[in-house]
Amino acid sequence: MFETNRPLQFFLLSCVAAVACSLVFGAQHSWILIGCCIVILIAGLPHGAFDIYIVANLFQNRAFVLAIAGYLSLIAGTVMLWWGSPDIFLLAFLSYSAFHFGDSDWPTASTIHKTAWGITIIALPCLLANQQVTFLFTLILNAEPPSLITSGFGYLAIPAALFCSLKTTTHQPNLTTPVLLIAYALVCIIGGALPAFTCYFAFLHGPHHLQRWRFKLPSSGNSGVYLLSFSVFAIILVLVVLTSQLSPNDPWVLSGSSLDSSAIRYTFVALAALTVPHMAFLYIAGKRG
């Protein structure tokens, strides 16, 4: 995964900053939580918007139009699943996120190593910040999630993390993994699940993923990525503002602010909805080389 030390350095610096902010202001401070959502969107939307170039590279003419229609249909289907079957949505979201993180972060590793890494990223917050994870899931679903889901992933955290730390990749010993996971765990314990995931997603997974596909498609530009990212960000912002004003008595309010609750809810619903087609077309691209 790490051709240079740069991704590791950025991630560790973000972990230090997250821990410091949590100690100074408190892990539940409103601006920290909203800031995490903004950072996740800023990091996640561009590497998702880059899919337009991946799709264009895979399909041409009429096939491209059909592919985009399929992409949008997958987004709509994910949102409908969140609306109609929140428990199934949550389990599917965690499962395919674990698969995606493992497959994207360690593309040359064995399937079992990829799976262990992805599970560790999802499971460590469930183990070390279980109460906050449960409450965050409650905000996302607008209902209490089954405790079996968070507890089940929590039980997998230690064996998955140990396997990641001891297993070697096909190229070199996996020496950096224990450092990454220790830093990730410390942020979970001190700052909570949301700051920890923000550090991982924005400063480790996102940059590596985008850099990898830019290298594969060097002729792609930035204008389409920025335009799509800004458009989706604007839509989410409008939803957050409207729902926080229309539902001031939301029963699932974090720190007394419906704005916080709406920001977290729509950040992760958007992340889930965009991840499904993102993974589907990356799978097709991987099969085609």
Residue 228 lies in a domain: yes
Query: What pLDDT sits at residue 126?
Result: 94
Quick check: 75 pLDDT over 80? yes
Q: Which of 29-43, 58-72, 173-187, 243-257 has the highest mean pLDDT?
A: 58-72
Residue 1 lies in a domain: no
Quick check: 124 pLDDT over 70? yes
Question: What value does the mean pLDDT take over residues 94-112?
Answer: 86
With b meaning 16 or more CB within 10 Å and e meaning fewer, what string describes 5-15?
eebbebbbebb
Q: Which of 30-44, 100-114, 219-233 has the highest mean pLDDT?
A: 100-114
Other residues' Cβ atoms within 10 Å of the Cβ of residue 134: 17
Rounded CA gap, 88 and 12, in Å?
34
Rounded (5°) CA angle 5-10-14: 150
Residue 271 lies in a domain: yes
Query: What pLDDT sits at residue 111?
Result: 86
Tell me the pLDDT tens digit for each residue of 157-212: 999 999 888 765 444 445 578 889 999 999 999 999 999 999 999 888 887 776 76
What total number of domains does the chain contain?
1
Residue 177 lies in a domain: yes
Q: Which of 25-39, 66-80, 204-218, 275-289 has the highest mean pLDDT?
A: 66-80
Residue 264 lies in a domain: yes
Please indicate whether residue 232 or residue 259 has the higher confidence score (pLDDT): 232
Confidence of residue 64 (pLDDT cuts 50, 70, 90): confident
Residue 281 lies in a domain: yes
Domain hosting 213: range is 6-288
Query: What pLDDT sits at residue 128?
Result: 94
Query: What pLDDT sits at residue 82?
Result: 87
Residue 94 lies in a domain: yes
Q: What percent of the chain has pLDDT over 70?
A: 75
Q: What is the DSSP letter of 257?
A: B
Q: Are 198 and 121 in contact (CB under 8 A)?
A: no
Quick check: 214 pLDDT over 80? no
Residue 87 lies in a domain: yes
Please indicate whether residue 50 or residue 219 has the higher confidence score (pLDDT): 50
Quick check: 240 pLDDT over 60? yes
Query: What pLDDT sits at residue 36?
Result: 87
Structure tokens at 10: 């950025």
